[in-house]
């Protein structure tokens, strides 16, 4: 049995830290935050799996990503409920179809951990948004009847926070759709709950007649552990292609050294660097954003520190559902008044970006 399989993932999740009192006892939050915890929890729920609690205690600098802060109650004028426009591209519940050849499938809006910078916090952590059986069938019918869709992307919420019993039938239905050529998972599980990567799950992924990609979300090299490394090895042996996804966060990875170590951590584990997201305009997240100019300079500095395949693409998701654009491209231009214009790759519409930082 691999080291990460020695813990039962469902038990670790059931023992998660989910309340302010527990966080205060652990020394994660101060009295001021505790006194505001009701308002914070109403805005966005708390959850840190028991398995990852040890990692935060070992590396307290990880807490900014997972532990609530009263700064979340400071909502800027430009911040939005749905900052990337999921809803405007949702033909049926559970589906976001923004680009012709791929679609998001959101089975659940639950996660193993709730990242404080989440751009879907308006739905994530709220069970009422989880798909009913009828809604799931309608979502799968949409994919089956839309032959332009070549890739289905499991997201949410975290798709791997669901049990095999819920995921496997969906995978079987997608596997039977000839026009679907690849399946991609976006997940935080690899670091926060690596015991979820079981042999049964990997065997199922290996059995599918599709290309399988798993995008590993991590924002600090300190998130990785012996357990996460064991889970990564099991996935790789099952033929799953691993890509990275990170968010550029103030005081988390906003220095050349921290960002370099994060990308080296991916490289050492055979994870191909993919996306580094500039934080979206989700409500109460301004304290996570650095200036866009600074972000671009930071990524540019990696060119002399890392091989090309280890350097992620700095990505901006244009507010309103206008699509993702690389920061270093003709899609993004700075105007004379020090503001940015972003050109949509979908419809050519130009949006003035109004990022507000703490």
3-state secondary structure of 183: strand
What range defines the domain where residue 295 resides?
3-330
Say how far apart CA 140 and CA 92 lie, in whole Å: 10
pTM of the model: 0.96
Q: Where are the alpha helices (DSSP H) in 189-305?
A: 189-192, 199-207, 226-237, 256-268, 292-301
Q: Is residue 345 part of a domain?
A: no
User: Quick one: pLDDT at residue 335?
Assistant: 87
Say how far apart CA 286 and CA 76 lie, in whole Å: 7
From 240, 194, 239, 193, select the one nearest 214 (Cα to Cα). Answer: 240
| 186 in Cβ contact with 159 (< 8 Å) | yes
Residues 6+ apart with CB under 8 A from 20: 29, 33, 34, 37, 40, 41, 46, 68
Percent of the chain with pLDDT over 90: 94
pLDDT single digits (tens) 18-68: 999 999 999 999 999 999 999 999 999 999 999 999 999 999 999 999 999
User: Quick one: pLDDT at residue 72?
Assistant: 97
The segments of the chain whose pLDDT lies below 50 read none
Residues 6+ apart with CB under 8 A from 231: 2, 4, 190, 194, 195, 196, 197
Kindly give the pairing relationship between strand 340-343 and strand 332-334: antiparallel
Q: How far is CA 91 from CA 28, 43, 94, 98, 105, in A?
A: 41, 27, 9, 10, 12
User: Quick one: pLDDT at residue 354?
Assistant: 86
Q: Is residue 158 part of a domain?
A: yes
Q: Is residue 338 part of a domain?
A: no
Say how far apart CA 18 and CA 332 lie, in whole Å: 40
User: Quick one: pLDDT at residue 357?
Assistant: 84
Q: How far is CA 66 from CA 25, 39, 74, 167, 183, in A?
A: 16, 16, 17, 26, 28
Residue 196, token pair as written in the block: 């979820």
User: Quick one: pLDDT at residue 49?
Assistant: 96
Say how far apart CA 135 and CA 138 lie, in whole Å: 5
Say how far apart CA 310 and CA 301 lie, in whole Å: 13
Residue 279, token pair as written in the block: 């934080």
Q: Is residue 64 part of a domain?
A: yes
User: Quick one: pLDDT at residue 336?
Assistant: 73
User: Quick one: pLDDT at residue 351?
Assistant: 95
Q: Is residue 183 part of a domain?
A: yes
Q: How many domains does the chain have?
A: 1
Q: Is residue 290 part of a domain?
A: yes
| 355 in Cβ contact with 327 (< 8 Å) | no
Q: Is residue 109 part of a domain?
A: yes
User: Quick one: pLDDT at residue 312?
Assistant: 97
- CATH code for the domain in which residue 214 is found: 3.20.20.70
Q: Is residue 354 part of a domain?
A: no
């Amino acid at each position: 049995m691999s080291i990460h399989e020695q813990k039962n993932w469902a038990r670790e999740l059931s023992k998660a830290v989910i309340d302010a009192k527990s966080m205060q006892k652990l020394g994660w939050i101060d009295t001021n935050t505790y006194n505001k915890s009701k308002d914070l929890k109403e805005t966005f729920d708390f959850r840190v799996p028991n398995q990852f609690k040890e990692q935060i205690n070992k590396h307290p600098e990880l807490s900014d990503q997972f532990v609530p802060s009263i700064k979340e109650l400071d909502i800027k004028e430009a911040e939005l409920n749905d900052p990337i426009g999921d809803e405007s591209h949702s033909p049926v519940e559970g589906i976001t179809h923004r680009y012709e050849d791929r679609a998001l499938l959101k089975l659940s809006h639950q996660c193993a951990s709730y990242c404080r910078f989440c751009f879907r916090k308006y739905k994530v952590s709220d069970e009422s948004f989880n798909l009913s059986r009828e809604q799931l069938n309608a979502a799968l019918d949409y994919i089956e009847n839309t032959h332009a869709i070549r890739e289905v992307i499991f997201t949410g919420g975290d798709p791997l926070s669901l049990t095999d019993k819920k995921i496997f039938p969906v995978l079987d239905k997608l596997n039977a759709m000839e026009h679907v050529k690849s399946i991609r998972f976006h997940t935080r599980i690899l670091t926060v709950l690596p015991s979820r990567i079981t042999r049964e799950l990997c065997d199922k992924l290996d059995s599918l007649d599709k290309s399988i990609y798993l995008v590993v979300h991590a924002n600090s090299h300190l998130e990785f552990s012996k357990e996460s490394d064991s889970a990564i090895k099991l996935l790789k042996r099952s033929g799953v292609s691993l890509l990275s996804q990170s968010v550029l966060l103030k005081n988390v990875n906003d220095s050349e050294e921290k960002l370099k170590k994060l990308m080296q951590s991916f490289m050492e584990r055979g994870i191909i660097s993919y996306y580094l997201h500039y934080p979206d305009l989700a409500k109460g997240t301004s304290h996570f954003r650095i200036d866009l100019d600074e972000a671009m300079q930071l990524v540019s500095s990696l060119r002399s520190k890392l091989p090309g395949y280890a350097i992620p693409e700095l990505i901006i998701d244009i507010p309103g559902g206008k699509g993702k654009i690389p920061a270093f491209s003709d899609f993004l231009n700075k105007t004379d008044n020090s503001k940015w214009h972003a050109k949509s790759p979908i419809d050519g519409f130009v949006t003035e970006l109004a990022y507000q930082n703490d």
